[in-house]
Amino acid sequence: MPETNLILFLTASLALIVAPGPDNILVLTRGIAQGRGAALVSAVGASVGLVVHSAFAAVGLSALLQQSATAYSMVKYAGAAYLIYLGIKTLLDRESFAVTGETAPARLGSVFFQAVVSNVLNPKVALFFLAFLPQFANPAAAGAAP
């Protein structure tokens, strides 16, 4: 990747990273509700989800998601089902509606898992990687597919 493309890619990536989205909202919510540690764990979990999407894009699974309405729908509905599950779980947890303001903090492993799953099950992220990364790829580079 020429130096100019690398600078453009890093600049565009930084702009997209700081723009608010579901991952940012999750990290902020965890930080406000549970403190800095939970926010950091959520950020790491969301980042792991982005690594998964990067790997999917690198091996071509994101292209499959773009081309197949069935595959896209499956990921979309799996994500929706996960959000519904989290909503029902919250509604059934009486402690989450306590007026005292004191609730038991979620375990950090659970916070991490929720961040990874919410990112991986977001099909818009996969389509973003498919649309964004090719602009900066050099098809003439060594090892590129013909």
Residue 145 pLDDT level (bands cut at 50, 70, 90): very low
- pLDDT (0 to 100) of residue 103: 54
- pLDDT (0 to 100) of residue 105: 67
- pLDDT (0 to 100) of residue 41: 95
Which tops the pLDDT comparison, 133 or 33? 33
- pLDDT (0 to 100) of residue 42: 94
- pLDDT (0 to 100) of residue 62: 67
Lowest mean pLDDT among 16-25, 29-38, 72-81: 16-25
pLDDT at 37 over 90: yes
> Which whole number is the average pLDDT over 86-115?
74
Q: Are 78 and 121 in contact (CB under 8 A)?
A: yes
pTM (whole model) above 0.85: no
Can you state the percent helix, strand and coil of the chain, rounding each to 5?
80, 0, 20
pLDDT at 143 over 60: no
Residue 46 pLDDT level (bands cut at 50, 70, 90): very high
> Which whole number is the average pLDDT over 6-29?
80
> Which whole number is the average pLDDT over 92-102?
60
Please, is 116 exposed, middle or buried when counting C-beta atoms within 10 Å of its C-beta (0-12, 13-18, 19+)?
A: buried
Q: Are 38 and 31 in contact (CB under 8 A)?
A: yes
Residue 146 pLDDT level (bands cut at 50, 70, 90): very low
